Amino acid sequence: MPSLRSRRSIRKREEKTLPAALSIGAAQNWDGNDGPWSSFPVQIGVQPQTVRVLPGTSATSVFTVSPAACPDYYPENCPQQRGNTFDVSKSNTWTPNSIYNVGIEQNLGLDTDGTAGYDSVTIGWPGAVQAKADHNVVFNLESPNFWVGMFGLNPRPTNFTTAASITEFNNGQVSFMQSLVNNRTIPSLSWGYTAGNQYRLNGNNLGSLTLGGYDASRFNAAQTLSLPFNSDISRDLLLNLRSISTDSSASSLLPDGNIQIFLDSSVSQLWLPQSACDAFAQAFNLTYDESASFYLVNQTLRERLQAVNPNVTFTLAADDTATSRAIEIVFPYAAFDLTLEFPNIMDPNSSAYFPLKIANNATQYTLGRTFFQEAYVFADYDRQNFTVAPCDWNASRIAQQEIKSIIRANETSSGDGGSSSNTGAIAGGVVGGVVAIVAIAGLILFFMRRKKKAENQRIAELDAKSAAGGTAGSTPEDKSCASDAEARPIISGPMGGELEGQEIHQLDSPHKIDPNKIGYSEMENPHEFYSPVKGVPAEMRGQTPIYEMAGSDVGELPAPRVNMTESK
């Protein structure tokens, strides 16, 4: 019969081998009319149309740009500027739905309608596919609010809220991220992202996107800030902005004190209170252009700021208490030296600008894609927490990559698949996860000890019966069965199956012992395994009772008789 070690080995081989996290290759392009920004290739449809998109941490679906979004009066290179367009009429697998609001950035006044439908979505260039899922929600947009398409990283389902589709609303349409977990392409609902920039690593610091984990080469683990999601799911990546300062001025750039602020790469700018915007304007001699609603920077001012190259430091914390952990992320002026283009500005069609927007209220406080140039953020939607850290600019380390998989809380893995390494918690630690592991280990140890105690008690009772001269277990065959039973550990709940697996409905064959040989049955009552209370060793059943005789002699009993010579 297999030993306990061999049984564990078999169980380990039967464990599911989970997929490793995916490091998504950037497109080698810089797109957008308010950046530029490092984009990623996505193919839409079975006969694919390839577009370039930007990762959106608050978006839940894929946004593409419709050909109608580039009318004749737009610049001739509009499709290229917008990352190429997706023509639904040329996709044989496009399933139309209707026109709906895309469901993000309403608080910023950027709410946008789009033609919703379903199609296959593939990440990567043709011939270099990294991930694919069929029948995904795609919004095809005409609005300039989102100049480049978007790849939604938030795994929440999309609900189409019309009265005619209440069932669809209740069920929700699975997000692309959820589809990748369901088809076992990535190990968990998690991602890691930094936007990249053109001023680090010799101007070739492309964006870094990891699905199902994060790239540990992009940050220093000792400088992380980890915190739980906000209860408002539309602003889940919320943290405390404790202060903003610059080495070019002694004045605070957040003069009214700390604020709660949302991290969101779906928009480009920093949305700060009026007082903070005024402080920035004073520190850097910025002028607000009312017609464009942006802080434009003329060439003279730009050259002066580039020469001075002031640093701006953001201090971030989990909350506004003085004792909470805080980290600093330092931005060079180059992070704010961006370009605004048509249709954000018409005359001229291009201008340098400072990516700052005036927030009208607290719901608009947002650190957009500009922030992600110097920050690395990764989020775990299974454990409901996220981590932010300043980027590490060690070129050799970045070139090697250190992709770490985040495993779902209810799964284990027997392998990590290549260069990825599995971890059940993100950097900074997940206290809840540790508590859960300790609790589970304690329960397993408790039940194992209780089962062992019950087994020892059963063996002692059997030995006592044997010493008293009872017939049960007195033959070599009986002793062999008893020996097998003692060698076989009782299967407990935690040991008998995977945590997420099926119930064990019966013991395997070596446990199906003839009840007449030992004195108890395998399962005396429905739904109960053997225990010291139910099914203790009993005197042999039969129609003729066994009488205890005086002394050591056993007298003959009336027929039917028990044949005691069977063991010879």
Q: What is the DSSP letter of 174?
A: P
The CATH classification number of 22-429 equals 2.40.70.10
Alpha-helix runs per DSSP H in 316-388: none
Q: What is the DSSP letter of 170?
A: H
Mean pLDDT of 339-366: 96
List, for residues 237-261, the tens digit of each pLDDT value: 999 999 999 999 999 999 999 999 9
Tokens read off for 200 = 């680090």
Q: What region, left, alpha or beta, does residue 99 occupy, with left being phi > 0 and alpha being psi -120 to 50 degrees?
A: beta
Instruction: Provide the pLDDT confidence category of residue 420 given band limits of 50, 70 and 90.
Output: very low
List, for residues 300-342, the tens digit of each pLDDT value: 999 999 999 999 999 999 999 989 999 999 999 999 999 999 9
Pair 237, 421: CB distance under 8 Å: no
Name the 3-class secondary structure at 68.
Answer: helix
| Residues linked to residue 379 through DSSP beta bridges, in sequence order | 191, 386
Cis before 2 (ω within 30): no
| Residues linked to residue 55 through DSSP beta bridges, in sequence order | 151
Residues 6+ apart with CB under 8 A from 272: 254, 280, 356, 357, 358, 359, 365
Residue 503 one-letter amino acid: E
List, for residues 503-526, the tens digit of each pLDDT value: 433 334 334 434 444 444 444 444
Pair 519, 537: CB distance under 8 Å: yes
List, for residues 549-563, the tens digit of each pLDDT value: 454 444 444 444 444
Pairing label, strands 190-194, 375-380: antiparallel
The domain limits of the chain are: 22-429, 434-567
- Tokens 């291009």 locate to 350
pLDDT of 447 reads 52
Single out the residue of 23, 74, 66 nearest to residue 214, CA to CA. 23
Pair 22, 131: CB distance under 8 Å: yes
Rounded CA gap, 454 and 9, in Å?
26
Instruction: Provide the pLDDT confidence category of residue 411 given band limits of 50, 70 and 90.
Output: confident
Q: How many CB atoms lie within 10 A of CB 190?
A: 30
- Tokens 């002026």 locate to 333
Structure-derived torsion over alpha carbons of residues 392, 396, 397, 403, reported in degrees to the nearest 10: 120
Instruction: Provide the pLDDT confidence category of residue 410 given band limits of 50, 70 and 90.
Output: confident
Across 123-127, 330-334, 415-419, least confident range: 415-419
Pair 122, 42: CB distance under 8 Å: yes
Tokens read off for 396 = 């050799």
Pair 372, 189: CB distance under 8 Å: no
Pair 75, 84: CB distance under 8 Å: no
* Exposure string over 146-167, b if 16+ CB within 10 A, otherwise e: bbbbbbbbbbbebbbeeeeeee
Mean pLDDT of 497-502: 38
Q: What is the DSSP letter of 106?
A: G
Name the 3-class secondary structure at 499.
Answer: coil
